[in-house]
Amino acid sequence: MKLSIQINEGPYQHQASDSAYMFTKAALEKGHEIFRVFFYHDGVGNGTRLTTPPQDDRNIVNRWADLADEYKLDMVVCVAAAQRRGIVDEGEAERNKKDATNIQPQFRISGLGQLIEAAVQSERLVVFGD
């Protein structure tokens, strides 16, 4: 089955990001295809490389990055939500005259069209978080 995943909550906000990660990992291990993982609203916080949880806590951002590397996942952060929350890649930094970037390399910033495409191209769009 071809799936797309939408995450609407930050990595340490509630359990949505953890649940989405576990679901995505399990689906991939069972042989399902993940067309795209789309981070929206506060979920864009899953894409910042500056997250530094305590050493004895899970690093959700790194979990997503490792999963993306292992399975070559398309990890998209919503541009409008990212701008509101200070998630910046090189293109957005240049366009908005910012002096730094903070997006994890496995993620990319794009628009809502990527979410619509994911919904159209997939058999199911599974949403985590409000």
Tokens of 35: 């067309």
Q: Phi first, then psi: what are they for 48, rounded to 5°?
A: -90, 130
Looking at residue 22, its pLDDT comes to: 98
**Residue boundaries of the structural domains of the chain:** 2-128
* Catalytically annotated residue among 75, 78, 82, 103: 78
Active site residue 36: no
Looking at residue 117, its pLDDT comes to: 98
**Residues 127, 6: contact at Cβ < 8 Å?**
yes
C-alpha dihedral, 51 to 49 to 66 to 42, nearest 10°: 70
Topology of domain 2-128, per CATH?
A: Hypothetical Protein Ychn; Chain: A, (3.40.1260)
pTM of the model: 0.96
Tokens of 49: 């490389």
**Residues 37, 119: contact at Cβ < 8 Å?**
no
Distance (Å, whole) CA 87 – CA 42: 11
Give tens-digit pLDDT for 67-126.
Answer: 999 999 999 999 999 999 999 999 999 999 999 999 999 999 999 999 999 999 999 999
